[in-house]
Amino acid sequence: MKILVCISKTPDTTAKIAFTDNNTKFDTAGVQWIINPNDEYYALVRAIELKEADASAVIHLVNVGGAESDAIIRKALALGGDEAIRVNAENLDSFGIASQIAHVAKENGYDLIFLGKETIDYNGSSVGGMVAELLDLPYISLATKFELNGTTATVTREIEGGEEICEVQLPVVVSCNKGMAEQRIPNMRGIMAARTKPLKVVEPVAADALTEIETFALPPAKAGVKLVEPDNVQELVRLLHEEAKVI
């Protein structure tokens, strides 16, 4: 079984969000880059668990990005990926990224393509669906559980207020959500092994950008908290009713 896990590079969750060039670019000064948590904790770890259950399975990682991605790719290899492909292209929109991933997938042929449910920077939740469409494969989004029985997968996916259990034949594209797996920390053996695992850099194929970011903005600052004494909860109720008008 061949599994492709898509990993993207995102600013660390505590990174300060600021913009430069007249609010047209994200300010990367001092930003620490990490593997997008949804890709790492859920997609990659579940793929590793599947490989642990089936020794013949192989995990390829794909990242679309510049050389700065290499550090997070090595970390993903240390966690348990077998080899990685970096498509050397930057600043693409989600369709551009999906086109590159779909191309890599077509060239190599995978039984399973896993991604995180969304990136924590652009919160698009788009690449998975696009990849599935470009490959004409079924797509299960927001998966919270994934079990494999031969070539049939039983997948639980989140729906509003509950969950849905579905069955699908491989190959399939799955976007992974909390519940799929638990975060792991790479160990020394993994880190040493990752140094010699293949990281192939390929050039992008031609793909159109369908959208472009014009400007960014920060939300308006909050006015500040109004504190109410703990033995005067009636005052809070009054404020919520009369001032905030939410009850």
Partner 1 sequence: MSVLIFIDINEEGTVKKTSLEALTYGSKLAQQLSVPAEGVVLAPVTEDLAALGKYGVTTIHQVQQEALKHFDAQAYSSAIAQVAEKTGATVLVFSNNTDGKALAPRLSARLKAGLVSGAVALPEAGAGFTVKKSVFSGKAFANIKINTPVKIITLNPNAFPVEPGEGAANVVPAEVSVSAPKVKVVSVNRQTADVPLAEAERVVSGGRGMKGPENWGILEDLAAALNAALACSRPVADAHWRPHNEHVGQTGGAIAPNLYVAVGISGAIQHLAGVNRSKVIVVINKDPEAPFFKAADYGIVGDLFEVVPKLTEAIKQFKS
- Give 82 or 158: the residue with its C-beta nearer to partner 1: 158
Half-sphere exposure of 178 (CA within 13 A, CB side): 0
What crossing angle do the helices spanning 127-135 and 94-108 adopt, rounded to 10°? 40
Q: Nearer to ligand FAD by C-beta: 18 or 120?
A: 120
Interaction between residue 151 and partner 1 (CB under 8 A): no
Stretch that binds partner 1, among 48-56, 80-88, 162-170, 189-197 (CB under 8 A): 162-170
Question: Is the CB of 40 or the CB of 93 nearer to ligand FAD?
Answer: 40
d(CA 131, CA 122): 17
On whether the CB atoms of residues 157 and 166 are closer than 8 A, the answer is: yes
Contact of 116 with 36, CB cutoff 8 Å:
yes
Map the footprint of partner 1 across residues 21-80, applying CB under 8 A: 37-38, 41
- Contact between 215 and partner 1 by CB under 8 A: the answer reads yes
Instruction: Report phi then psi at 116, rounded to 5.
Output: -75, 160
Write the burial class of residue 229 (CB in 10 Å: 0-12 exposed, 13-18 middle, 19+ buried). exposed
Residues 101-130 that bind partner 1 (CB under 8 A): 120-130
Q: Which one, 178 or 197, has the nearer CB to ligand FAD?
A: 178
| DSSP classification of residue 34 | E
Residues forming contacts to ligand FAD in the complex (CB under 6 A) are 13, 37
Which residue, 2, 115, 4, 12, is CA-closest to 72?
12
Per partner kind, with CB cut-offs from 5 to 8 A, the member of partner 1, ligand FAD, none near residue 33 is: none
Closer of 67 and 247 to partner 1 (Cβ): 247
Task: Find which of ligand FAD, partner 1, none residue 141 binds, CB within 5 to 8 Å per kind.
Answer: partner 1
Q: Is residue 178 at the binding interface for partner 1, with CB under 8 A as the rule?
A: yes
